[in-house]
Amino acid sequence: MRTFEEIGLLFGRYARQVLRNPIWLFASLITPILYLALFTPLLRHLGGQTLSAGAALDLFLPGILALVAFGSGVGPGFSLIFDVKAGVVERLRVTPANRFAILIGPILVTMVMMMIFDGILLVVGALFGFHIHPAGLGLLGVLLALLEVTTAAFFSATSLRAKGDINGFAAIANGLNLPVLLLGGVLLPLSLGPVWLQDLGHADPLYYVASAARVLASGNLSSNLVWQAFLVLVPLCAVVLVWATRVLWQIIM
Amino acid sequence: MAGAIMSNLETGQENHGQGVRTAAIVTRDLAKTFQARRGAVEAVRSISLDVERGSIVGLLGPNGAGKTTTLRMLTTLLPIGRGSAQVAGFDVGREPHQVRTHIGYVSQLGGSDEVLTARENLHLQARLYGIAPMQAASRAQSLINQLELSTYADRAVKTYSGGQRRRLDIALGIIHQPEVLFLDEPSTGLDPQSRANLWEHIRSLGAGGMTIVVTTHYLDEADALCDDVYIIDQGKIVAHGAPAVLKQQIGGTAIVLEWDTPPQASQACELLRSAPFVREAVLNETLLRLYVDNGSEALSALLHRLEQAALAAHSLRLSQPSLDDVFLRTTGRSLREETVEVH
Ligand SMILES: Nc1ncnc2c1ncn2[C@@H]1O[C@H](COP(=O)(O)OP(=O)(O)OP(=O)(O)O)[C@@H](O)[C@H]1O
Ligand SMILES: [Mg+2]
């Protein structure tokens, strides 16, 4: 009970921080919208054939939803860098508050933000012809939440281990971003690439999410890709959460 | 000014089934070694503290002495390296959760949320200690009054001055009425007026029965604020006692002489060290400090000898022994000069 209360308190703390810096909210929403606006026209003329705007969006938008989930996970990591420097993390760690609550509070805020962003993207996409399949999108929401929590916990722990060094953290975050997104087939399906690239993609959790996202968004709930994605994400999320909580417990700064 | 904050504190009467606890903090040979890239750093070598309940205790030492590291071990932030520590009657290593509920910690960095207001910070902090919403709000309000924060209590903390921010940091550390409060360099960076004001607040907390541990590298702070001072250098305690007692041990008067070059000073040191009126001589580069029983008598004898040896000093002053002299006698270095070097 107490832990839930603490999670609520720390959720409120981070939510206020985010809402008082709306420029960040705007910046994180503008990137996926730009991707959609600039990338979809390219896709329409892929491989010699011409797709309708709706068909191109059906192919492209699910990947963008996964991109938003992954990208928003970096947020709590960045804010922890500043919190470590300002002594906020130490102040919270001296209180008897549950360590898991300290970790998960901000992560849940970004999860809610991610859901809202993805909702906006779906609405915008639908206006331009994207086909909405509610059941598939519902299950996709669960999968994306898992992905978001996993990435946010991973970047939170990475940030704590960087001990307030923003350059160290930014190097890791940026260094991981491109290969993970590329190998995940988020922007372009890996099936367009050579076999070795597809094989490499199997080492990337995002690959499973992006693949499942495409079939789920098309309304297909029974594809093997769906349970495979959950089979990868559920244990991964659990392991990363346990690890990140341990880091918060015993970090030496 | 601030009244006796938290006068309803129940320290001293509480009993957690561990027998009557007399000391607020007991440590034995506390030590911590960091494994850094360039080899091991022995930040704390051996710290044994006995802090009485309700006392204000100072850890005085130069930069890098291990003050913060000691506090971070005592507040459960850092695993204890070697040795043992009990805080508020609980073993720091085995009962960290219990320790956390009984202590407050104000770090060197502060730790308030910049985008939130003082009131929001205080409210959240109280709630994290399990205080119910209504009571959290009233405690926040009373601390805002007591620490004179009311004018800006509903403004974002990032707009505060150093002194205002420091008072908020302290309010955050005491909102749950801890038995033991740790303050890491509470007055660093404040002007003399704000420092005096902050000391007043800290004293009134002590008067309310709270046990307070203050780290500082300011001699006057330790002198003015603390019932008991541990002087720390390179991770070890080099002297311990009430400020007045420590100074008394030095005794008499200090004569400080300065020459242009170190050889002159060391020659003079050789000359005067064995003189009957000199209790102790400490040489530091061009500075020579002589501790004597009777200042004026010693002075004429001393000037006479220097003149004969053609070693007249270019400056000379008399001073009553300070905690700096205590530090100097045990380490051969001056706290004051070291602080100056760093800034
Ligand atoms: N995490 C760490 N890793 C490696 N070395 C450390 C670490 N923390 C502290 N040290 C080293 O331990 C020593 C003691 O540091 P500490 O911060 O305890 O000193 P301090 O007495 O608080 O100094 P100051 O007055 O400057 O705050 C220093 O030499 C410092 O460089
Ligand atoms: Mg320090």
Residues B35 and B88 in one domain: yes
Whole-structure pTM value: 0.84
Ligand 1: residues whose CB is within 6 Å? A 252-253; B 34, 36, 41, 43, 61, 63-69, 108, 217
Give the A window 88-117 contacts with B, CB below 8 Å. Answer: 88, 90-97
In a shared domain, residues B199 and B147: yes
Q: In what order do the strands lie in the sheet with B278-284?
A: B278-284, B287-292, B253-258, B315-319
Distances (CA, A) of B303 to B285, B300, B308: 20, 5, 9
Smallest Cβ–Cβ distance between A9 and the set B111, B115, B124 belongs to B124
Question: CB B34 to CB A252 under 8 A?
Answer: yes
Among B216, B246, B276, the domain-final residue is B246
pLDDT tens digits for range A199-217: 888 889 999 999 999 999 9
Is the predicted pLDDT of residue A239 greater than 60, yes or no? yes
pLDDT digits (tens, 9 = 90+) for A220-238: 999 999 999 999 999 999 9
* Inside any domain, residue B341: no
The domain containing residue B281 runs over which residues? 252-320
Q: Determine the residue among A17, A19, A94, A165 to mutate to test chain B binding: the one whose Cβ has the most chain B Cβ atoms within 10 Å.
A: A94
Average pLDDT, chain A: 89
Whether residue B306 is contained in a domain is answered as: yes
Are B226 and B275 part of one and the same domain? no
b/e for A72-91, b at 16 or more Cβ within 10 A? bbbbbbbbbbebbebbbbbb
Q: Which range in A35-44, A46-55, B169-178 is most confidently predicted, on average pLDDT?
A: B169-178
Report CB contact under 8 Å: B79, A252.
yes
- The SS3 call for residue B47 is strand
Same domain, B293 and B227: no
Distance (Å, rounded) from C-alpha B18 to C-alpha A11? 37
Domain identity same for B219 and B71: yes
B335, part of any domain: no
Report yes or no: A246 at the B interface, CB cutoff 8 Å. no
Residue B332 included in any domain: no
Q: Say if residues B318 and B253 touch (Cβ distance below 8 Å).
A: yes
Tens digit of each residue's pLDDT (9 = 90 or more) over A41-75: 777 776 667 778 888 888 889 999 998 998 888 88
Clarify whether residues B214 and B271 are in a common domain: no
Nearest CA to ligand 1 atom 6: B34
- Asked whether residue B325 is assigned to any structural domain, the reply reads no
B123 and B61, same structural domain? yes
Shared domain check, B193 and B127: yes
DSSP sequence for A178-240: HHHHHHTTSSS-GGGS-HHHHHHHTT-HHHHHHHHHHHHHTT--S-HHHHHHHHHHHHHHHHH
**Does residue B327 belong to any structural domain of this protein?**
no
Residue B52 is predicted with a pLDDT of 93
| Domain termination site, one of B181, B212, B246 | B246
Give the residue from B221, B246, B271 where a domain finishes.
B246
Instruction: Give the domain CATH number at B268.
Output: 3.30.70.920
Alpha-helical segments (H) within B96-216: 96-102, 118-128, 133-146, 162-174, 192-207
Q: pLDDT class for B236, splitting at 50, 70, 90?
A: very high
Look at residue B153 and give its three-state secondary structure. coil
C-alpha–C-alpha distance, residues B289 and B317, integer Å: 10
Instruction: Say if residue B94 is in the same domain as residue B147.
Output: yes
Q: Please indicate, yes or no, whether residues B165 and B292 belong to a single structural domain of this protein.
A: no
In this structure, the answer to whether residues B98 and B197 fall within a common structural domain is: yes
For residue B114, what is the domain's CATH number?
3.40.50.300
Domain total in chain B: 2
Candidate from A120-124, B19-23, B329-333 with smallest mean pLDDT = B19-23
Q: What is the pLDDT of residue B343?
A: 30
Do B126 and B65 reside in the same domain of the chain? Answer: yes
CB atoms within 10 A of CB A116: 12
Backbone torsions φ then ψ of A129, nearest 5 degrees: 110, 5
- Residue B128: phi and psi, rounded to 5, are -65, -25
User: Within a domain: residue B155?
Assistant: yes
**pLDDT tens profile B31-86:** 999 988 888 999 999 999 999 999 999 999 888 999 999 999 999 999 999 999 99
- Residue B336 included in any domain: no
Strand partners, B183: B106, B214
Q: How far is CA A178 from CA A67, A181, A184, A185, in A?
A: 11, 5, 10, 11
Tell me if B122 sits within 8 A of B154, measured CB to CB. Answer: no
> DSSP letter at A131?
P
Q: Return left, alpha or beta for B6; rule: phi > 0 is left, psi -120 to 50 is alpha, else beta.
A: left
Burial of B15 (0-12, 13-18, 19+ CB in 10 A): exposed
pLDDT tens-digit map of B308-318 = 888 888 888 88
- Rounded Cα distance between B110 and B123, Å, is 17
Would you call B192 helix, strand, or coil by DSSP?
helix
Per DSSP, B110 falls in state: B
pLDDT at A47: 64
Three-state secondary-structure class, residue B280? strand
The alpha-carbon gap from B122 to the nearest alpha carbon of chain A, in Å, equals 12
- Indicate yes or no: CB of A13 within 8 angstroms of CB of B75: no
Is the pLDDT at B334 greater than 80? The verdict is no
